[in-house]
């Protein structure tokens, strides 16, 4: 049945109105027994036998509506629809309304499978590519799992603005783990790269400790509650991240603590800065100081000479 | 997937491809003919391009695993003999040279760097072997008194395809003719049958990557078990070959100490210390992206759970005190059995050498150490 005909001429992107001409024998073919699933007007098209769906201005102005409903529209495509047309529509949509969020893509994938009659492996190549997702059947599975997250989790995930790569990672987790970590990410508002790091550490820790993410998150809660009440959000988030890093890299933390202890004993004057090699992997410390007069320089050099005589330095050298 | 179904190879049983694709241009070369004759029941398909195969493999659940079921016979382009990629400014390396007769490997180790390195997942076998051997021999003829150690196991396992290519039958006698050259065939298999009858004059070291039985079972898919490797080493040693062992990657996990200690002991028990030319130690390391691949492809792997931190060269390695502790213990267990055993570290800085052996080895030092171990 060749009843969807979409070409560039059929799409009207002007003035926040979205029109899609469908060559339908009758409107019911599109919607079947169901109601129109979104506020669209269906009217006779210009060509004989065609119908035009018009999405009105007010509807599209609600950002949380437009992509979901668009997804519904796409999913009404019959099995026989040419995949390229769908891709074209997805592309057109992207140009008009910006990229789809990952959750929206997840709903799209699920609807394509469940309503559109696509088999998951049919979506694994071109479709995923068009949606800017890593190709392959495992991505389809992850998207299906994301789309089946319980309803309260979905808006939280959307508000948390989770890094799409992280969200895909979370899709592999049991729902109870996702329910623990998603609100945690929402609360701390880390940048995308920090989210990636934090989630990675939490997952590793859960494996190392043989526990679940809820326990790791609960442990972080305790760290948070020990912070002074006036601690600002970003500092709280950083304190939690550092706590996680220390749990994940205990030997490094030990070296860091020893280093800090040495540094305290050395009592460096404030104008002299000592820097350890990154991750204690190199073998050299660096000292930096600034001065703006001969007197300041003399003072710094004296401090350095005193420093060089301290026995505590040996402990510092043992660390690298 | 229609052309590349599930594989049945789950242990050290011999690798067998499901398809052989051959570039039309090299179809009649002797190596192509040989591989075809030795795998008569495997479909042998001349192709102009492999694009459709690549996209089919690419759409499979695990493209890297699926690609390993296809041998792609093609022509090697460019220089044959290259320096090992381990050579870099931050580490003391062993001045090793490599020749790649294949690119990609029938085995599938979770930690394999090739996963993030190859630009397509089929196993490429270079069948213009005659040309390659000629070029290699040209280099060997010009050596004079310069020492050259060459390996074939950088982009593949040196022996995993040998029962089909019989390449060792050409390489081993070639190196036997040059007194300052040494060949190393590095493997995780027990594919040594073709080595027994060869004229080698001690110029070829057959070496095995070793790990604990737990690591082999969990991280080295398709490889031979520890005991099989050691028995194979024993046979090679009986045939007069010097043998080598590479404890690489050493992995830090709960119980590593007792298990690595036992593995070292088992190595000496089965092979005997006499003919071990060298033993290398390398702690698990890799680019950051490798860990993502390991997590994705081998979700049960414990490798990413180590205390891995980026080093000065950007590669992830165990936090240095952990590495030093592992190396010191390994060296101690090895030297307790054979005090004079040549042991070296793979891709470690002079500082780590100093902490483990008490001296800062330069690249030239490591090169000399290994030359002395294998050349008369
Ligand atoms: S044997 Fe070597 S080349 Fe082959 S998969 Fe294992 S690590 Fe990679």
Total domains in the fold of chain A: 2
The larger pLDDT score, comparing residue B186 to residue A229, is at B186
- Please identify, among A79, A98, A117, the residue that sits at the C-terminal boundary of a domain: A98
Pairing type for strands A18-22 and A51-55 reads antiparallel
The span from the CA of B362 to the CA of B93, in Å, is: 8
Model ipTM value: 0.84
Closest CB to B320: pick one of A135, A138, A280. A280
The span from the CA of B355 to the CA of B350, in Å, is: 9
- Give the pLDDT band (50/70/90) at residue B87: low
Q: Which of A241-245, B3-7, B265-269 has the lowest mean pLDDT?
A: B3-7
Would you state the pLDDT for residue A122? 77
Q: Which of A70-74, A136-140, B92-96, B294-298 has the lowest mean pLDDT?
A: A70-74
Six token digits for residue A124: 């694994």
Strand, coil or helix: A200: helix
Q: Looking at the predicted structure, is the pLDDT value of residue B193 above 60?
A: yes
B107, B222, B285, B301, best to mutate for ligand 1 pocket (most atoms within 8 Å of CB): B107
* Domains of chain B and any CATH numbers: 19-374 (3.80.30.30)
Where do runs of H (alpha helix) occur along chain B? 30-38, 51-58, 63-67, 129-141, 162-165, 168-176, 213-219, 226-238, 256-271, 288-297, 320-337, 350-357, 363-374
Element (H, E) at B59: none
Q: Which of A149-158, B67-76, B199-208 has the lowest mean pLDDT?
A: A149-158
Would you state the pLDDT for residue A56? 36
Q: How many residues does chain A have?
A: 320
Contact B319 A136 (CB under 8 A): no
Would you state the pLDDT for residue A129? 76
Average pLDDT over residues B62-66: 94
Q: Rounding to the nearest 10 degrees, give the CA dihedral for residues A166, A169, A175, A178.
A: -30
Would you state the pLDDT for residue B165? 97
The span from the CA of B261 to the CA of B268, in Å, is: 11
Q: At what angle do helices B320-337 and A250-266 cross, to 10 degrees?
A: 110
Domain CATH code at residue A41: 3.90.1530
DSSP B348: B
For residue A257, with 0-12 CB atoms within 10 Å meaning exposed, 13-18 middle and 19 or more buried, which class applies?
A: exposed
Is the residue at A275 inside a domain? Answer: yes
This model's pTM is above 0.80: yes
Select the residue from A141, A251, A280 to test the B interface by mutation, using most B Cβ atoms within 10 A. A251
B319 in reach of chain A (CB within 8 A):
yes
Name B14's Cβ contacts closer than 8 Å, sequence gap at least 6.
Answer: B163, B191
- Give the pLDDT band (50/70/90) at residue B86: low
- Please identify, among A72, A98, A124, the residue that sits at the C-terminal boundary of a domain: A98
Give B126's strand partners: B74
The span from the CA of B376 to the CA of B374, in Å, is: 7
Q: Please say whether the beta carbons of A272 and A301 come within 8 A.
A: no
Mean pLDDT by 10 residues, chain A (320 residues): 35 40 43 37 47 42 42 43 46 51 81 72 76 85 91 84 90 92 94 95 96 95 92 93 96 92 90 88 89 92 91 90
Where do runs of H (alpha helix) occur along A115-212? 120-123, 126-130, 137-147, 153-159, 164-170, 175-188, 192-209
Q: At what angle do helices A83-97 and A63-75 cross, to 10 degrees?
A: 170
Is the residue at A94 inside a domain? Answer: yes
Is the residue at A273 inside a domain? Answer: yes
B58 in reach of chain A (CB within 8 A):
yes
Which residue minimizes the CA distance to atom 6 of ligand 1?
B109
Q: Looking at the predicted structure, is the pLDDT value of residue B102 above 70?
A: yes
Would you state the pLDDT for residue A95? 46
The larger pLDDT score, comparing residue B6 to residue B213, is at B213
The span from the CA of A188 to the CA of A169, in Å, is: 18
B304 in reach of chain A (CB within 8 A):
yes
Ligand 1 pocket: which residues have CB below 6 Å? Answer: B 105, 107-109, 112, 114, 156-157, 188
The larger pLDDT score, comparing residue B222 to residue A17, is at B222
Q: Looking at the predicted structure, is the pLDDT value of residue B247 above 70?
A: yes
Closest CB to B319: pick one of A138, A208, A249. A249
Is the residue at A266 inside a domain? Answer: yes
Q: Looking at the predicted structure, is the pLDDT value of residue B355 above 80?
A: yes
Give A274's strand partners: A287
Q: Over A221-244, what HEC string results? A: HHHHHCCCCCCCHHHHHHHHHHHH
Would you state the pLDDT for residue A248? 97
DSSP B163: H
- Please identify, among A59, A81, A98, the residue that sits at the C-terminal boundary of a domain: A98
Closest atom, ligand 1, to C-alpha of B104: 3
Q: What is the mean pLDDT of chain B?
A: 92
DSSP B349: -
Q: Which domain holds residue A16?
A: 1-98
Would you state the pLDDT for residue A110? 81
Closest atom, ligand 1, to C-alpha of B113: 8
> B322: nearest CA in chain A?
A251
For residue A265, with 0-12 CB atoms within 10 Å meaning exposed, 13-18 middle and 19 or more buried, which class applies?
A: middle
Q: Please say whether the beta carbons of B103 and B124 come within 8 A.
A: yes
Would you state the pLDDT for residue A281? 83
Is the residue at A114 inside a domain? Answer: no
């Amino acid at each position: 049945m060749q009843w969807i005909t979409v070409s560039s001429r059929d799409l009207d992107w002007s003035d926040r109105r979205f029109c899609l001409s469908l060559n339908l024998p009758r409107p019911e073919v599109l919607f079947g027994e169901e109601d129109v699933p979104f506020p669209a007007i269906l009217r006779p098209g210009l060509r004989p036998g065609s119908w035009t769906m018009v999405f009105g201005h007010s509807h599209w102005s609600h950002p949380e509506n437009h992509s979901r409903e668009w997804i519904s529209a796409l999913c009404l495509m019959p099995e026989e629809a040419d995949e390229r047309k769908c891709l074209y529509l997805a592309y057109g949509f992207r140009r008009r309304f910006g990229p789809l969020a990952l959750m929206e893509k997840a709903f799209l994938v699920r609807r394509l499978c469940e309503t559109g009659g696509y088999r998951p492996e049919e979506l694994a190549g071109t479709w995923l590519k068009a949606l800017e997702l890593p190709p392959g059947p495992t991505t389809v599975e992850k998207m299906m799992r994301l789309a089946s997250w319980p309803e309260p989790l979905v808006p939280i995930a959307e508000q948390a603005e989770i890094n799409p790569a992280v969200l895909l990672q979370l899709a592999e987790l049991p729902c109870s783990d996702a329910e623990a970590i998603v609100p945690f990410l929402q609360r701390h508002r880390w940048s995308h790269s920090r989210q990636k790091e934090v989630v990675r550490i939490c997952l590793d820790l859960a494996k190392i400790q043989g526990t679940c993410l809820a326990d790791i998150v609960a442990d972080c809660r305790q760290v948070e509650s020990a912070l002074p009440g006036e601690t600002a959000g970003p500092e709280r988030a950083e304190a939690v991240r550092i706590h996680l890093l220390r749990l994940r890299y205990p030997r490094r933390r030990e070296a860091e603590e020893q280093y800090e202890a040495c540094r305290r004993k050395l009592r460096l004057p404030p104008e002299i800065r000592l820097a350890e090699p990154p991750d204690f992997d190199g073998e050299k410390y660096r000292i930096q100081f600034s001065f703006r007069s001969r007197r300041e320089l003399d003072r710094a050099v004296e401090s350095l000479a005193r420093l060089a005589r301290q026995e505590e330095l040996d402990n510092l050298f043992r660390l690298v | 997937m229609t052309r590349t179904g599930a594989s049945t190879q789950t242990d050290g049983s011999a690798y067998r491809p499901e398809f052989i694709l051959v570039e039309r241009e090299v179809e009649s070369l002797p190596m192509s003919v040989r591989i075809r004759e030795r795998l008569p029941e495997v479909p042998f398909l001349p192709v102009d391009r492999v694009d459709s195969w690549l996209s089919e493999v690419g759409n499979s659940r695990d493209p890297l695993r699926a690609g390993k079921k296809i041998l792609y016979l093609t022509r090697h382009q460019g220089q044959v003999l290259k320096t090992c990629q381990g050579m870099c400014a931050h580490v003391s390396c062993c001045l090793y040279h490599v020749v790649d007769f294949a690119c990609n490997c029938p085995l599938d180790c979770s930690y394999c760097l090739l996963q993030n390195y190859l630009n397509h997942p089929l196993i490429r076998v270079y069948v213009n072997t005659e040309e390659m051997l000629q070029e290699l021999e040209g280099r060997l003829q010009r050596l004079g008194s310069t020492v050259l150690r060459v390996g074939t196991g950088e982009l593949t396992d040196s022996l995993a395809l040998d029962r089909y290519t019989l390449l060792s039958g050409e390489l081993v006698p070639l190196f036997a003719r040059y007194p300052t050259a040494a060949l190393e065939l590095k493997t995780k298999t027990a594919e040594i049958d073709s080595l027994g009858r060869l004229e080698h004059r001690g110029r070829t070291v057959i070496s095995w990557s070793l790990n604990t039985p737990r690591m082999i079972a969990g991280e080295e898919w398709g490889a031979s078990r520890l005991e099989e490797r050691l028995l194979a080493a024993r046979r090679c040693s009986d045939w007069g070959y010097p043998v080598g062992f590479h404890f690489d990657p050493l992995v830090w996990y709960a119980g590593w100490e007792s298990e690595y200690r036992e593995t070292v002991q088992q190595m000496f028990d089965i092979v005997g210390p006499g003919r071990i030319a060298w033993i290398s130690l390398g702690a698990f390391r890799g680019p950051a992206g490798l860990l993502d691949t390991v997590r994705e492809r081998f979700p049960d792997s414990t490798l990413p759970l180590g205390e891995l931190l980026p080093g000065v060269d950007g590669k992830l390695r165990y936090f240095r005190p952990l590495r030093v502790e592992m190396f010191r213990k390994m060296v101690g267990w090895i030297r307790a059995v054979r005090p004079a055993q040549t042991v070296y570290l793979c891709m470690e800085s002079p500082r780590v050498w100093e902490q483990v052996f008490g001296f800062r080895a330069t690249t030239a030092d490591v090169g000399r150490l290994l030359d002395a171990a294998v050349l008369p």
